[in-house]
Amino acid sequence: MRIVIANDHGAVELKHRLLAWLQAQGHEVVNLGVDTEVRVDYPDQAVLAVQEFRKGGYDFGIVCCGTGIGISIAANKHSGIRCALIHDSYTARMAKEHNNANFVAFGGRVTYHEPVEQILATFMAAEFEGGRHAQRVAKLDALC
């Protein structure tokens, strides 16, 4: 898969962890995030990820901030982006199967009860179910 990732200062360690795991799995990852804890604004990082994603050729994007909340809100302000703040394998699977999420968000200061790699692997293995969910996703996309 080809993936874009961006983060702010609140998720540097988490971004490195995800990046290393994805690359070890053989995925191509374009890293737009920061590598230090010098303060940057998460809306700006979300914009970078969305702009890169819109160039095409990406399977999905990952955005990370301290909680994942702010950066997911920022990503979702962009037409056609469906960013899900996932926190376990169930929400990861549902984000793809029911919402056809094309971005996921994580929090660098959040304690996860499953390894984030497992959560991300679940999202990546899931497929959009379509059917009744396609109409709902179309409604989401029409909101922007």
Which of 16, 96, 3 lies closest to 49, judged by CA?
3
How far apart are alpha carbons 71 and 61 in whole angstroms? 12
Annotated active-site residue 133? The verdict is no
Which of 5, 7, 8, 14 lies closest to 108, judged by CA?
14
Between the two ends of the chain, the Cα-to-Cα distance in Å is 27
Cross-strand bridge partners of residue 105? 63, 85
Catalytic-role residue among 27, 83, 87, 98: 98
Catalytic-role residue among 65, 78, 83, 87: 65
Annotated active-site residue 98? The verdict is yes
Catalytic residues: 65, 98
